[in-house]
Structure 1
Amino acid sequence: MQLTGPFRVTGPDGQDWTPKSRKAQALLALLATSPNLLRTRSWLQSKLWSQSDTAHAGASLRQSLSALRRALGEHVRVLEASRQDVSLNSDLVCVLWDEEGSHKAGEFLEGMDLADPEFRNWLQFMRRGSGSPALMPVLADQFESRWKVVLTLDEQGAHPPLLQNFADMISRALREQGELELTENANDNSQDRLVTVTIGMVGGSEGTASVRLVANDPRLNRQIWARTLPVSVDTQDEHQNLALLGMAFQLQSELTRYLAQSRNLLGTDACPPLVLGAAIPRIFSFQPDELNQAALMLSDAMDSRNAAQFLGWQAQIAVINLIEQFTDAPEACVESGKMLAAKAIEMDPMNSVVLSTAANAQVLLERGNAAAGADLAKMAVQVNPANPLAWWAFANVAIYAGRTEDALRSARVASRLAARTPLQFWCEFQLGLAAFKAGDIATAKQALETSACLAPQFRPPRRYLLAIYADLKEHDKAVHVMAELKKLEPEFTLDRFVNDPLYPVSLVRQKKLLTWDRYQDLG
């Protein structure tokens, strides 16, 4: 296989076996440039069919493999495929890159052009380093290191103890992210990408000041995010502590979002990707294809540094698959989710994200067994009180344990910490559930409406809003939200909503609001 100049596949006798299909050529090139000539099916799908959902991408890959086998004819044995991987037989294939280090043979994959944006990004990146195998760059998914973050404490102002405590809080939040590496070397000149975070104090009137937090990308000379928070120097009340905790989580969220998008910024497509930044939105989409894609992403990118978090998020996927009835094998789903949660805890029992996802799995996979996850949720809050997912898990335990006031209080904390972050819709939903359980319908309604507004494709809050609107006899709103549910859930019917004991509105069922007379006028 010749990769420099026009792509060519030739047999031992010099006969041309190059597939006519550009997709088939691209598929072979992706395999030929891979470690051990092997890639997972999900990775290949992400490069050649990135704009398709999982089901269509999988079908397209199978069709391309079939066409490729036909094109290879008597040499079909060079291509090997299992349910998980596709590879080239290294005993039967010789991959040629411009071995003399010159450009006489032409550029890498000369003339090859596919419409898929992910393949174009990969091709552009590879061409920048083409010339000889020794000079080929390391692909983003093969990076041995993570993004690095430098925390700088500006102590020119007064009250360094307050700043130091805040810096410790931020360090804990960033370390838990799993794909970032904290360093003290702001002058790091390695190939690793670097961002800086400066924590300072801005003076104010007597007894007051403001904490200022600034994140920068020094290589691009770009400010990523900044925020200033007024604080009381002499007293540390609960409101101020929550505001500082929320500021720490907002920084983590903004860094994750920026770094996850960094390959689309000037000159940064070579940096290691943040898998969680791409996987978590897919998880919270509550769409089966997106959940499957997220699970594959987490599985493919797992290594010893992020394994605990990735296993925890896979346990969360098992929870969603069970509750949303996306699985045809619920018992196997339960066992798999519990196993993933247990392995995550075993690998990192002091990470609040791991503890939170494991707590949710223990409670919800056991169909509301609050005792199963109570200790994990409590420990998650203690380990990192700046993590809204920890408070979410604690509220979840309290809801199922019947401790309504604890649930409502914890859900309010989660909502405040997650404000102005991508997790706000998720925490507003939990606040809505806790308030609904506590009988505070006004708060429940407002929180669920906010969650639904922030996430137009998110079904769970709309289910509870349907029950609330019907109970309050707000007919037009009930009809509207029911129409939204029908679009989001093709199998949705009022009969299923009212009569299916497995339909995921257990708290509505507990409140005995699922009587047909409440909904019969909705049509």
Structure 2
Amino acid sequence: MRDSAPMIRISVLGPLRVQSAEGLSLTPKGAKNQALLALLALSPDMSRPRRWLEDKLWSQFGPEQASANLRQALSKLRGSFGAHDGVLLADRNSVALDPSRITVDLRDDGLPGDLRTELLEGLDARDPEFEEWLRMERADLQTRLSRAAPQEAKGILIACRSSASDGNGRIMGDVLANQIGENIAEQIRAWRQANEPDLPADLPVSDLSIGCDLVQTDDGHKVFVKGLHMPTGRILYSKLQSVGRLDDILGAEDSIARLVFEAADCIIGKLPQVLDSSRPESRATALSRLSMYRMFSFERDALREAYSLLKQAHELDGNGVYLAWSSMVRMIQLMELLEDDREALREEAIALNYRAIEDSQDNALVQALISKVRGTAQRDAAGAYELAERAVGRNAASAFAWKSLAEAHMLKGDVTAAFDASARARAIAHSSPFRQWWDMGHCIIAIASNRPHEAIEAGEAAARAAPLSRPAHRHLLALYALDGQLDKAQDTAEKLAKIEPGFTLDQIVNDESYPVRTLRNKGLLEPIRALL
């Protein structure tokens, strides 16, 4: 915080200019005097040792003459500042400007918008040391301008490779590596790079390598999966797993689907740590990943932050998946009654839904996400089912796709198919840091399927993964009461009262708008009355 109002403004972008707070020009005359002021204005803390300044401006003079020249230049600077000469501070060892009373455009206003802007344009102090300093300062400014300038998101390049002792194994390894690559490409902008012998030798270097090496064993095969950041050689993921039958890879059997989903999720989570942060893909990935942590907390402020993060991600990299996730955030806010204007949330969710499918209609993750919005916000059960089926057909290793299919089955009234699809989604997403999303969904579907004990198990898993999850505790409260576990039900009610301001038992039982629709439709809220 400044002790007093700035008295002088120094502009170093373009020609050097100095102006008082009243608008008077205080620019010193003489190239050496201007260079001295520039050296101080662009120095850390606006301070330098006398000898350092002498070396930059009078490097070809002896020490005594250089010192005398510096004293003369300081006198000229004070004279140009007039009544404001107190901003220039000097003692036997160093010279400084008072940073509390001076603003410098480059320091206080940020980078200029024009890449052509030149630092200290036209300033020539006729000293090789000053010229070298100025060259380096100008180069640093251009580097900063280039990094800050908007860049086109070109996508992350993924090389998918495999090896095996037999031809069939190599094909299956290639299928598996490409499945992992496709799961990554659904969530961020990425391209898979083929590994064919007749391709040019000078292909661009990949950002990632996904390797699947198959080895035959007595009881089948083992596959070693490794995700590598190529420029640094860092291993982002590795796992050795048994494969009973090679056909399991083609059919995306549960253990294979889980391996694919886990590998892709783990690699995506680490990408922002290894990619160049100036790349739009890198920054957008980091923002979207953070948004998911915020989103799946189901908290009001966290959901608002998640929406803002996704908006920033889409501005950096216009990938339709960020619109689909934004639509999902609006749906959660709508369903959880977290905002006052519910109709505005519904309309925005639908609008984002359409924009996402227009931008990324072949993306299985986008299809899965907007299936939920299509069914809930638009009451279009047929449309939701069609999108979910397409998502699973395109990527049978996607936990998101199977969850969307489970919810689409629910809308059609087929609770058995919904339960089976949800169980598969949950199994695939077992290692996800956001597994509470699938656990909570399975809890609700188990309730609809008249499977209270499976519902309790899934609800407890969701509550363990996300202790502040309101949906998990709401449903567990009713399930515990239904199962006669009144002590647990009471404890859960007390937890809800802490994490959900204004919660009461009377509200969950009697408020028709309270978000426990499946419990209410199944008549499972009555046992809670025992706690009233």
Q: TM-score band (shorter)? A: 0.7 to 0.9
Where do residues 119-518 of structure 1 align in structure 2 (5 Å cutoff)? Answer: 131-133=140-142, 136-139=145-148, 142=151, 144-156=153-165, 159-184=169-194, 194-205=207-218, 208-233=220-245, 236=248, 241-262=253-274, 269-270=277-278, 272-273=282-283, 274=285, 275-302=287-314, 306-366=318-378, 370-515=381-526, 518=527
SS of the aligned residue for 1:331 comes to helix
Q: Does 2:110 match 1:32?
A: yes
Distance 1:26 1:463, change over 3 A: farther
SS of the aligned residue for 1:252 comes to helix
Cα distance in structure 1, aligned partners of 2:244 and 2:424? 20
Q: Is the CA contact (8 Å cut-off) linking 1:98 and 1:105 kept in structure 2?
A: no
Other-structure match for 1:69: none
Deviation by residue 1:177-205 (Cα, 9 ceiling, x = unmatched) = 23333335899998x98222211102211
Q: Is the CA contact (8 Å cut-off) linking 1:103 and 1:131 kept in structure 2?
A: no
Letter of the aligned partner of 2:408 in structure 1?
V
> Relative to structure 2, which stretch is displaced further, 252-261 or 268-277?
268-277
Other-structure match for 1:122: none
Residue ranges of structure 1 left out of the alignment (5+ in a row): 38-89, 109-128
Structure 1 residue 21: deviation in Å? Answer: 8.3
Cα distance in structure 1, aligned partners of 2:291 and 2:437? 15
Distance 1:31 1:485, change over 3 A: farther
Q: TM-score, normalised by structure 2?
A: 0.72
Deviation by residue 1:337-387 (Cα, 9 ceiling, x = unmatched) = 111111211222211111111111112224x65334121112111121111
Letter of the aligned partner of 2:178 in structure 1?
D
Deviation by residue 1:405-442 (Cα, 9 ceiling, x = unmatched) = 01100001101111111232211111111111111111
Cα distance in structure 1, aligned partners of 2:396 and 2:375? 20
Cα distance in structure 1, aligned partners of 2:228 and 2:25? 55
Letter of the aligned partner of 1:212 in structure 2?
F
Distance 1:304 1:346, change over 3 A: farther
Q: Is the CA contact (8 Å cut-off) linking 2:293 and 2:434 kept in structure 1?
A: no
Aligned residues: 436
Q: Using the aligned pairs only, state the percent identity.
A: 23
Q: TM-score, normalised by structure 1?
A: 0.73
> Post-superposition, which runs of at least 4 consecutive aligned residues in structure 1 deviate over 6 A?
15-22, 24-28, 97-103, 105-108, 185-190, 237-240
Letter of the aligned partner of 1:338 in structure 2?
I
Q: Does 2:520 match 1:519?
A: no
Q: Is the CA contact (8 Å cut-off) linking 2:11 and 2:105 kept in structure 1?
A: no
Q: Is the CA contact (8 Å cut-off) linking 1:215 and 1:223 kept in structure 2?
A: yes
Structure 1 residue 306: deviation in Å? Answer: 4.2
Structure 1 residue 391: deviation in Å? Answer: 0.9
SS of the aligned residue for 1:132 comes to helix
Cα distance in structure 1, aligned partners of 2:474 and 2:98? 51
Cα distance in structure 2, aligned partners of 1:469 and 1:212? 43
Cα distance in structure 1, aligned partners of 2:190 and 2:122? 36
Other-structure match for 1:61: none
Deviation by residue 1:57-113 (Cα, 9 ceiling, x = unmatched) = xxxxxxxxxxxxxxxxxxxxxxxxxxxxxxxxx9xxx884799996747998xxxxx
Other-structure match for 2:53: none
SS of the aligned residue for 2:253 comes to helix
SS of the aligned residue for 1:519 comes to helix
Structure 1 residue 388: deviation in Å? Answer: 0.8
Cα distance in structure 2, aligned partners of 1:21 and 1:332? 47
Letter of the aligned partner of 2:209 in structure 1?
T
Deviation by residue 1:316-357 (Cα, 9 ceiling, x = unmatched) = 011011111122211121111111111211222211111111
Q: Is the CA contact (8 Å cut-off) linking 1:169 and 1:245 kept in structure 2?
A: no
Letter of the aligned partner of 2:158 in structure 1?
V
Distance 1:171 1:224, change over 3 A: closer
Deviation by residue 1:446-495 (Cα, 9 ceiling, x = unmatched) = 11111110112222111110100111121221122222212221121112
Letter of the aligned partner of 1:493 in structure 2?
T
Where do residues 12-51 of structure 1 align in structure 2 (5 Å cutoff)? Answer: 13-14=24-25, 32-33=110-111, 35=113
Structure 1 residue 30: deviation in Å? Answer: 8.3
Letter of the aligned partner of 1:276 in structure 2?
S
Other-structure match for 1:76: none
Cα distance in structure 2, aligned partners of 1:494 and 1:179? 46
Q: Is the CA contact (8 Å cut-off) linking 2:111 and 2:145 kept in structure 1?
A: no
Q: Is the CA contact (8 Å cut-off) linking 1:99 and 1:131 kept in structure 2?
A: no
Deviation by residue 1:38-61 (Cα, 9 ceiling, x = unmatched) = xxxxxxxxxxxxxxxxxxxxxxxx
